[in-house]
Amino acid sequence: MNAGGCTSGAFVNGVENIPAFEKTIGKKLGVILFFTHWFNPFPTDEVKAIINNGSLPMLTWEPWITDKEGTLNAIISGKHDDYMLNFLKAAKEIGQPIFLRFAHEMNGDWYPWSGVSNNDEGKGPELYIKAWKHLHALIYNNVKATNIKLVWCVNHESRPPEKWNEFKAYYPGDEYVDWLALDGYNWGYEKWQTFDEVFLEAYKEISAISNKPLMIGEFSSAGSGSSERENKSNWIKDAFEKIISKYEKVKIFCWFNINKERDWRVDSSAESEAAMRCALQKDGILDKIQNYQ
């Protein structure tokens, strides 16, 4: 059983959508996930809007860097320190807790900061750790921004699925990480995957790496599979039952609510919307974080 409960969160595709989403799900959001690209200034207005909603902001900072020496080497070299320091100083000035989810899903093959994209001489994970530690030093040694908590977030499966690319190879160590996170989706293409089929093995693996608090950074499901039982409303019901009964280390989850590669939205059907509203009223689903750490 998930002792202490699990805090509700979501990506709602813009802070202007927070009220409508909370009305749809019948629940206040404890955490709101959003994204910003490299070279964008710190999103002060968005962060303040989230805080004013009574929620905790989780900012995903994506280093979309095009550099001949590679994304991670560019960060490690200090070339971007001025930008990073200005960004982090603005985050400190907020004076309220902020989750910073930096360079997520590095064990996939789709981002320029991934191990695959920076794997010269087989050093992708090593370079990622160096870039992470460089950011950590700027936050805590230079800026001294104690309100920022770093979230180390991996994809539930590694691509390519090779030993060098296992997500544990990217872990910088407990002294450099505040929260662990897993991302995963039921895409519903070749094979319909239950919540357990998406997350259980990854949950076991990440739990073996560290005892740091754990969250699900992104998750959702496609609309339907090949059988009557393979539908989003059943998937949602099962997912939240599992989170509360089986995934005791998960303390935050963030539903990914957008019509993108698939229609991940809660209200993609009346049935899935009803299932989500019901699931979020269960004991153990919280609208506030009990222990921010």
Model pTM score: 0.96
Q: Look at residue 227 and tell me whether its pLDDT is greater than 80.
A: no
Q: 64-107, pLDDT tens digit by residue? A: 998 888 999 999 999 999 999 999 999 999 999 999 999 999 99
Chain mean pLDDT for the chain: 95
pLDDT at 225 over 70: no
Measured on CA atoms in the order 28, 100, 123, 204, is the torsion positive or negative?
A: negative
> Residue 293 has what pLDDT?
65
Give the model confidence (pLDDT) of 120-144 as tens digits: 888 999 999 999 999 999 999 999 9
Least confident of 45-54, 201-210, 279-288: 279-288
In this predicted structure, what is the pLDDT of residue 45? 98
Return the number of other C-beta atoms located less than 10 Å from residue 148's C-beta. Answer: 21
What integer pLDDT is reported at residue 121 of this predicted model? 81
CA nearest neighbour of 29 among 293, 267, 286:
286
Q: Which residue has the higher pLDDT, 230 or 41?
A: 41
CA–CA distances in Å: residue 216 to residues 152, 219, 252:
11, 7, 6
Burial class of residue 103 in the structure, from the number of CB atoms within 10 Å of its CB (0-12 exposed, 13-18 middle, 19+ buried): buried
Q: Report the pLDDT value the prediction gives residue 4, as an integer from 0 to 100.
A: 80
Map out the domains of the chain with their CATH numbers: 6-286 (3.20.20.80)
Q: Kindly state the average pLDDT of the residues 220-238.
A: 85
Q: Which two three-digit tokens encode residue 131?
A: 């870039």
Judge whether residue 157 has pLDDT over 90: yes
Q: From 5, 15, 111, select the one nearest 59 (Cα to Cα).
A: 15
